Amino acid sequence: MAVQKSKKICITSVKGGVGKTIMTLNLAGVISKLNKKVLVVDLDLSNNGISFALSLDVTKDLYKISRDIKNNQYRNFSDYVIKYNDNIDILPAPTDPRDANKISPKYIELILDKANSKYDFILLDTNHILSDTNLVAFDNSDTILYILPKDLMAIKTMRSMVTIYNEMQKENYKIILYNIKPENKQYSNYDINHMVDKKIDYKLDNLYVKNIDNYLLQGKILTLDKKFINSHKKGMKTLEKIVEDLL
């Protein structure tokens, strides 16, 4: 009998500071509400953004599991994850940024292999740099989600990435136009489709959170908070549509 494998989703961008980490956690929240098991892996190794966003007390991280695999001390995957709720586990980036360079990309692949079949989804939060770690994440993902802001330089860089994917004949990526600032209406969606040379898959204009620091201080995932859900119904529908398409 074949073992069911996790669906691996990589969340990335061509620019930093566009909300990838919050988007990753938002998707994890939507998935968990479907009673699906999800693992969030923080591959932004020197930033540790997932832990900060959730106010986690980190005692386990990617460096520890990679070190134990290397030294043949690995036993159980559950020994290295932090449980957020019944359906969401977190595998944080190293708490010490100096440990980030000690994690060989080959161990990232081994870690994902060990997590496989234990979860319905594995979400990989990355940074915008085309590092060896991110390339491993891309190669091991079923779907790559690009978070694209309404920013000219990001749009131009995304066009270059679309060209690369076309040349590689790879189609397992989608673009989420994420207008983090509602007042930013310099470019229409038609303009952006034309500049990127690809139809935008999803448009998120309704997730602006003025008091997001309050959520971060409490370590809350937005899409699991009733107040947020009730005040961002259109944005929630888009997030639910993204997850539905990933099922």
pLDDT per position in the chain (247 positions), as tens? 456 789 999 999 999 989 999 999 999 999 999 999 999 999 999 888 999 999 999 989 999 999 999 999 999 999 999 999 999 999 999 989 899 999 999 999 999 999 999 999 999 999 999 999 999 999 999 999 999 998 889 999 999 999 999 999 999 999 999 876 655 556 777 788 889 999 999 999 767 787 888 888 899 999 999 999 999 999 999 999 999 999 9
Residues in the chain: 247
- Rounded-to-integer distance, Cα 112 and Cα 220, Å: 25
- The Cα-based distances of 240 to 44, 57, 99, 190, 218 in angstroms read 25, 29, 36, 24, 24
- pLDDT of 211: 80
φ, ψ at 217 (rounded to 5°): -65, -30
- pLDDT of 208: 77
- pLDDT of 223: 96
> Where exactly are the structural domains of the chain?
7-246
Compute the half-sphere exposure of residue 115: CA atoms within 13 Å on the CB side of its CA. Answer: 30
Give SS3 for 18.
Answer: coil
The correct CATH number of 7-246 out of 3.40.50.720, 3.40.50.300, 3.40.640.10, 3.80.30.20 is 3.40.50.300
- Rounded-to-integer distance, Cα 125 and Cα 177, Å: 17
